Amino acid sequence: MDCSRCIFAITTPPASGGPFGSWQCGCRVDRLETLKQRGEAHLPEPMLEEEMSNFYKLDRFCNMYRTSKWKRDKRIKNAEESAREESTCSFGIVVDVSSQNEDEINSTVRSIGKICYKKEKMIVVLSSDYEENRMQMLVNETHKLLGDGIDCQLVVHSKSDPTDVLDQQRKDKDAFVRPMKNRQSFLLKVRGGQTLDKDFFNFIDREVNELLVKSVFFEDPKNGISALAFGAVNAAYLEFLDYDLMSKELKNLSVNQNSYRKYEKKN
């Protein structure tokens, strides 16, 4: 792709006054310089003079690329702000609460409520096998997150009959249906009792939208939390039919392919 149709491309007439029109000299949303530093944006070398390009060619997808057709949407009042909002990372968090006690579940829920990130960019699913004596407690935990302004739902996996077996594929499918349907940028599966660092999501968004890294696997090893890119999960899950097994393999692949990033909390 190139920047020729992007509304954020900054152009200037050629200093020589030559016949080839305006030249791209920048980017209104600060993407071009970073991409150039990463070696992912360049002016193509023409084979013939008439093939000369005035706009930078990108060796990757730019998530701030917007055309004039997008800008004509009447809901868009400020193009730059709207594009940045659309590009901000979103997160789908599935919390497995099938075997944890109330204190452990509450610890995880509290940590999610304290995350310093846009609440509207998060979807949380509490995933539990059906146990009648735990349902009210789980409903209460769901409402705590709803009260914090976080989209949260309780998904209960029930057996159709006493001999039914709740396999992992079925549980994963039920739990991840909303985050997948909403195409959340990153997906996380945590266990009740684990806690999420309040700055983990800001770290990921900065890596993706400021440093423009192409990592698909972000890990907070201190808390045992991993965030996997939606595209990677969507492409790989059917090979494993088990989210946990898939996560282990994607970590190995991302390390080997230099698309793994480790989160280290700043003091």
Tokens of 75: 């809901």
Partners of 126 in the beta sheet? Answer: 95, 154
Residues of the chain with CATH 3.90.550.10: 89-262
Render pLDDT for 191-230 as a digit per residue (tens, 0 to 9). 999 999 999 999 999 999 999 999 999 999 999 999 999 9
- Ranges 40-49, 84-93, 183-192: which has the least confidence: 40-49
Structure tokens at 79: 């193009």
Q: Which carries the bigger pLDDT value, residue 74 or residue 113? A: 113
Longest dimension (CA), the chain: 82
Give the C-alpha separation, 232 to 239, whole Å.
12
Mean pLDDT, residues 47-60: 72
Among 219, 229, 207, which residue's Cα sits nearest to residue 38? 207
pTM of the model: 0.90
Residue 85's pLDDT band (boundaries 50, 70, 90)? Answer: very high
Q: Which of 120, 234, 221, 242 is nearest to 172 (CA)?
A: 242
Q: Residue 130 in contact with residue 159, Cβ under 8 Å? A: yes
- Confidence class for position 263, pLDDT limits 50, 70, 90: very high
Q: Is 110 exposed, middle or buried (0-12, 13-18, 19+ CB in 10 A)?
A: middle
Predicted confidence (pLDDT) per residue in 6-45, tens digit: 999 998 876 555 555 678 899 999 999 999 999 999 987 7
Q: Distance between CA 33 and CA 27 in Å, rounded?
A: 8
User: Could you tell me whether strands 151-157 and 217-220 are parallel, antiparallel, or unpaired per DSSP bridges?
Assistant: unpaired
Residue 105, helix vs strand vs coil: helix
Does position 2 have pLDDT exceeding 70, yes or no?
yes
89-262: CATH topology is Spore Coat Polysaccharide Biosynthesis Protein SpsA; Chain A (3.90.550)
Q: What are the start-end ranges of the H helices in the chain?
A: 32-37, 68-71, 79-87, 102-113, 135-147, 168-181, 200-209, 230-240, 243-256
* Number of other CB atoms surrounding residue 214 within 10 Å: 14
Among 25-29, 46-50, 248-252, the range scoring the smallest mean pLDDT is 46-50
pLDDT band at 53 (very low <50, low <70, confident <90, very high): low
* DSSP classification of residue 45: P
Q: How much of the chain, in percent, has pLDDT values that exceed 90?
A: 79
Give pLDDT, residue 86.
Answer: 95
